Homo-oligomer: A and B are copies of this chain.
Amino acid sequence: MTRVDHSRMANAIRALAMDAVEKAKSGHPGLPMGAADVATVLFTQFLKFDAADPRWPDRDRFILSAGHGSMLLYALLYLTGYPEMTLDEIKNFRQLGSKTPGHPENFMTPGVEATTGPLGQGISFSVGSALAERLLAAEFGEDIVDHYTYVLCSDGDLMEGVSHEAAALAGHLKLNKLIFLYDDNGITIDGPITLTDSVDQVTRFKAHGWNAVRIDGHDQKAIAAAITQAQSSDRPTLIACKTTIGFGAPTKAGTSKAHGEALGADELLAAKKALGWDYGPFEIPDDVLAAWRNVGKQGASAHADWRSRFDAMGDAQREEFTRRVIERRRPPALADTIRKLKEKLVAEPPTIATRKASEMALEALVPAMPELLLGSADLTPSNNTRTKGLKEVTPADFSGRYIHYGIREMGMASAMNGLSTHGGFAPAGGTFLCFTDYARPSMRIAALSHTPVVYIMTHDSIGLGEDGPTHQPVEHLAALRAMPNMRVFRPADAVETAECWQLALEHTTGPTVLALSRQNLTPVRVSASSENLSGHGGYQLVAAQGEAKVALFASGSEVEIAVAAQKELAARGIAARVVSVPSLDLLLAQPAEHRKAIIGNAPVKIAIEAAVRFGWDAVIGLDGIFIGMSSFGASAPAKALYKHFGITAEAAVEAAAKRLQNL
C-alpha cells in the first residue's frame, strides 16, 4: 500500500464535514476543519482501536466533548470503516433515524463513546472513563485493562464550570492516562474568545495538578510529540492545540462564521480548492479511503493479542469480567440478597431514617455486588453511603470501592456516566436531594443515554429541618419525575428502601434517583412479602374497612402520616384506604387499567407529600386534595415545619371530613 500524505487524510475529514453540513443545511463545519490535523495524528499514530469491533473492552476511548463538531467523529468512523457508519449515514447527517444526529449520541451510533453537545459533559464524563480504567486495571491486571482516554474539547468545554470539577478530580486522582486535546481556536459563537475570556488554560490546568503544554495544532510533528510526552506523564495532560476554526475556508476560517452553519456553495468550493481537494461532494479518492481503512484495522493485532491474554485468564476472573464489563449483567445474588434483608427487616422493623435504611441495604449489597461503586459529593456521613470497611480510592491505590468525589455534584454525576458507560461498574453517588439541581445536566445525559447509575439523594424534604429553604427540596421530586427515562423512588421505610434499591440496580436502561429522609420514620411495611411491592410505583398499603370513601396517597416520610390519618378516619367511621406511592412516575407509567385499579374510585382522593402538588393531579384529579408544600420551606426543626406547613394527619383527616360533608 502506498503511503498517503497526512494532509490528504486530514482533508478527507474536512471535506466530509463540509459536504455533510452543506447537504443538511445545518451543523458545525468549523471544528472538524480546525481539528482535523489533531484527530488525524491521534487516529493514525496513537489510538488503539479496531473498527471491526467498537465494543472491544480494552480499546482506547476517544471522546468528542465538543459534540457540536460531530461530523469530525462521524467522518472518522466512516473513514476507518466502522461497519454501521456508511456513506449514506454521512449523507443523512442530522436527518430523522440516521446514525448521524446533530450531536453524538452513544446509544445511537457504535463508535460514539459519549453523548455530548451540552458543553463540559464530555470532559467530565471522561474522568469517569479514565477512572474506570484504573479501577479495572487494579482488579483485573494491566494485561487486560490498559488503555488511554483521549478527549477532544473546545473553548466552551473549558469555560463551563464542570470543567473545573472534572480537572480537579482528575488531577487529584492523578489519572495519568487521561489526555485532553484542547481545540484552542479562539472563537466562540459571540465572536473572538477575547470578548469573554482571559484564562490562561495551561497555567490553570497546572494548578489543578495536570501536565499541560501548548502547541501548534496544525503541526503534525508537534501534535505527535505532545501525545507521546503525555502518554508517559505521571499526571493527566492538557495539550492546548492552537488551531484555526474552519481551516481552509478562504473568507470564514478563523471567524465565528465558520462555527455553526453551512459554509455555502461558493465558500465550500473555494475551501476545497484552497485545500487542494479536487473531489465532488462526499467523494473520497480510493487511495485516501484505503489508507484510512487501513488505520481502522491497525488495532486488529493488538485486539487479537488481548483476546489471547483474556482467554488465558483464570476462569473466575474471566467470568467476572465477562459478566460485568462485556455482558453487563447484574449478579444473580441480587434479588436473593434483598429478599433476605426484607425478611430480617419485617421480623424486627426498625424506626430509622430511610438514608440509614439505605446504608443497611448497601451493607448487604456491597458483598453481593463487587461492581457497586459508592461515593458522595462530600456528604459521606450525611448520605450514609460508605459501608463499614469499604476502602476509599486514592491516587496511590485504585483497589478501593469508595469515591470521595468532593464538593462537585455535576462532576460526580458526569463521572458516574463515564464509569457506567465504560463498563465494569454500577456507580451510586450521594448528595442532598436539593443539589440534584447542580447535577441535573449530567443526570439528563444519563437518562437520555440509557445509563444505569443510582443517585442516593438524602435530606429529601423540609424534614431536613434547620438548614432551611436553601437546602430543602420542594420542587425537585416533580422536576425529576418530569424527565423522561429518569426513575424516582421515595421509599417510606426500611422495607421499601430495600425494594427500591433492588429496582434501582435491576434497572439497567437508565438512571434512578433514591430520595431518602434525614429523619426517622415509623415502619409501615410490617408483614412479609416476597414480591417487590414497589415495582409498580404504588400499591395498597392499608385496605379500607368496606368501600373506601377516602383514598390517601403518599410517598416516603408522609406515608406514616397517611397511615395515621386512615386510623383516625376509621375511628370516625369513615372508610379509607392508603396507597403507598414509592414512585409516582412508575405508577403513572403503568398500563391504564392497572393504574386505575391502584388509584381506585374513592370519592375523596388525598395526596400527601412534603413537596409541591405539581404532577399529583394525575392521581387525585383536579378536585383532589393535596396536603403538601406550595412555597419554599423554612429554617426550623422538622417537627415544627410539618406543623407550620400543615402536613399532618390531622390536616388530612379534617380535609377529608369536610369534603365528605360537601359531597
Q: Interface of A with B (CB < 8 Å)?
A: 24, 26-27, 67, 94-98, 101-103, 105, 115-120, 155-156, 159-165, 168-169, 171-172, 188-191, 195-201, 203-204, 206-209, 376, 378-382, 392, 404-408, 410-411, 434-435, 437-438, 440-441, 444-445, 447-448, 465-471, 474-475, 478-479, 481-485, 612-615, 617-618, 621-622, 629-632, 634-637, 640-641, 644
**Residue contact B437 to A444, C-beta cutoff 8 Å:** yes
Q: Can you list 5 pairs linking A and B with CB atoms under 8 Å apart? A: A94-B468, A103-B635, A160-B438, A161-B163, A196-B406
Assess the B156–A614 pair: CB atoms within 8 A.
no
* C-alpha spacing A101/B464, complex, angstroms: 13
A618 to B617, CA, bound (A): 5
Across the interface, which residues of B come within 8 angstroms of A629, CB to CB? 484
Contact (Cβ within 8 A) B198 A172: yes
Q: Given A102-B466, A198-B171 in contact, is the A165-B156 Cβ separation under 8 Å?
A: no
Q: Are A466's CB and B24's CB within 8 A?
A: yes
Of all chain B residues, the one with the shortest Cβ separation from A116 is B470
Q: A96-B636, A171-B198, A172-B197 are known contacts; what are 11 more A-B pairs with Cβ within 8 Å?
A: A26-B466, A96-B635, A161-B438, A169-B196, A172-B199, A195-B392, A196-B406, A440-B440, A479-B483, A484-B612, A617-B621
When the two chains form the complex, which single residue of B160, B379, B636 contacts A408, counting CB atoms closer than 8 Å? B160
Among B118, B161, B392, B635, which residue has its beta carbon within 8 angstroms of that of A101? B635
Residues of B close to A161: CB separation below 8 A: 120, 160-165, 408, 410-411, 438
Residues of chain B with a CB closer than 8 A to A103's CB: 467-468, 470-471, 635
**What are the residues of chain B within 8 A of A115 when measuring CB–CB?**
470
A543 vs B614: C-alpha distance when bound (angstroms): 29
Complex: A96 Cα to B645 Cα, angstroms: 11
Q: Which residue of B lies closest to A436 (CB)?
A: B440
Find out whether the CB atom of B67 lies under 8 angstroms from the CB atom of A640: no
Q: Are B117 and A471 in contact (CB under 8 A)?
A: yes
Of the residues B67, B160, B204, contact of A407 by C-beta under 8 Å: B160
CB distance from A255 to the nearest CB of B (A): 13
- CB pair B171–A102 under 8 Å, yes or no, is no
Of B96, B101, B207, B483, which is within 8 A of A207 by CB?
B207
- Once A159-B406, A411-B161 are accepted as A-B contacts, the answer to whether A467 and B102 lie under 8 Å apart by CB is yes
Q: How far is the CA of A379 from the CA of B68 in the complex (A)?
A: 14
Instruction: Give bound CA distance, A94 to B407, whole Å.
Output: 24
Contact partners of A613 in chain B: CB under 8 A:
618
Known: A160-B438, A618-B617. A470 touches B117 (CB 8 A): yes
Chain B residues closer than 8 Å to A94, beta-carbon distance:
466, 468, 635-637
* Cross-interface CB contact of A164 among B164, B445, B447, cutoff 8 Å: B164
- CB distance A465 to B26 under 8 Å? yes
A537 to chain B, nearest CB (A): 14
With both chains docked as a complex, state the minimum distance between the C-beta of A186 and any C-beta of chain B, in angstroms. Answer: 13
Contact status A478-B478, CB under 8 Å:
yes
Is there an interface contact between A96 and B644, defined as CB atoms closer than 8 Å? yes
Q: Is the CB of A199 within 8 A of B407?
A: no
Question: What separation, in Å, do the CA atoms of A629 and B200 have in the docked complex?
Answer: 43
Inter-chain CA distance A483–B640, complex, in Å, is 23
Question: Chain B residue with minimal CB distance to A641?
Answer: B96
A583 CB to nearest chain B CB (Å): 14
> Which B-chain residue is minimally distant from A205 (CB atoms)?
B207
Chain B residue contacts of A641, Cβ below 8 A: 96
- Cβ contacts under 8 Å, A209 to chain B: 198-200
| Closest residue on chain B to residue A476 by CB atoms | B482
- Report whether A379 and B189 are in contact in the complex, using a CB–CB cutoff of 8 Å: yes
Report yes or no: B189 in contact with A382, Cβ–Cβ below 8 A. yes
Nearest 8 Cβ contacts at the A-B interface: A161-B161, A101-B635, A196-B406, A164-B164, A96-B636, A117-B470, A478-B482, A479-B479
Shortest Cβ distance from A486 into B: residue? B475
- The smallest C-beta distance from A395 to any residue of chain B, in angstroms, reads 8
CB distance from A506 to the nearest CB of B (A): 21
**A468 and B105 in contact (CB under 8 A), knowing A188-B378, A404-B196, A435-B118?**
yes
Query: Which chain B residues lie closer than 8 Å to A118 at the CB level?
Result: 434-435, 437-438, 470-471
Given contacts A168-B199, A407-B119, A630-B484, contact A102 B635 (CB under 8 A): yes
In the complex, which residues of chain B have a beta carbon less than 8 angstroms from the beta carbon of A198?
168, 171-172, 208-209
A207-B196 in contact (CB<8A) = no
- Which B-chain residue is minimally distant from A208 (CB atoms)? B199
Contacts of A617 in B (CB 8 A): 615, 617-618, 621-622
Least CB distance from A562 to B in Å reads 20
Of all chain B residues, the one with the shortest Cβ separation from A631 is B484
Flag if A469 contacts B105 (CB, 8 Å).
Answer: yes
With contacts A159-B406, A162-B161, A636-B96 taken as known, whether A482 is within 8 angstroms of B475 at the C-beta atoms is yes
Within the complex, which residue of B120, B206, B485 is in contact with A203, where a contact is CB–CB below 8 Å?
Answer: B206
Given A161-B164, A622-B618, A640-B96, A117 and B438 touching (CB < 8 A)?
Answer: no
Report how far A163 CA is from B636 CA in the complex, Å.
29
Q: How far is the CB of A181 from chain B (nearest CB, A)?
A: 18
C-alpha spacing A634/B484, complex, angstroms: 13
Knowing A468-B102, A478-B614, A483-B479, say if A207 contacts B203 (CB, 8 Å): yes
Tell me which residues across on chain B come within 8 A of A380, comparing CB atoms.
Answer: 189-190
